Amino acid sequence: MAASRERREDHSVGVDIETARQFAASWVRAWNDHDLDGVLSHFDDDADFSSPVAAQLLPHTGGVLHGKQAIRDYWTIGLQRFPDLYFEIVHVYCGLDLIVINYRNHTGGLVSEVLTFNAAGQVVTGAGTYLLQDAAGASGAHPV
């Protein structure tokens, strides 16, 4: 969790509305192209990411991934399991040092990705969150 401590200690971090919009557009384009290098280019090497889907696909992680390589491994498995993965942005929210991307995934489920940034503009923490009524989905699994 060194990355999140770094973020908290640096109060100069700021995400403006235009940066948030540009980030979200680049993020969704990379996801929809299934371009993991493109998605991960936004992440710090020591980033942490948590998701209930990660807990299902990689139970040994407890849903918490540490470092860019662990995040890559998780998303690689996710893209293999869900080859029709596609996201449509619904809303983008901007905070002081974070953005929330609310999107509809390939199953129609609503998801919010909460991403916190460091001073270099890289994601240091991320969390996938799922609308409760959509959480189980038809298959009983959270969609990526």
CATH architecture for the domain at 17-136? Roll (3.10)
Q: Residue 7 in contact with residue 126, Cβ under 8 Å?
A: no
Sequential pLDDT tens for the chain (144 residues): 444 444 445 445 678 899 999 999 999 999 999 999 999 999 999 999 999 999 999 999 999 999 999 999 999 999 999 999 999 999 999 999 999 999 999 999 999 999 999 999 999 999 999 988 755 553 345 445
Cα separation, 49 vs 31, in Å, equals 16
Pairing of strands 98-104, 88-94: antiparallel
Domain positions in the chain: 17-136
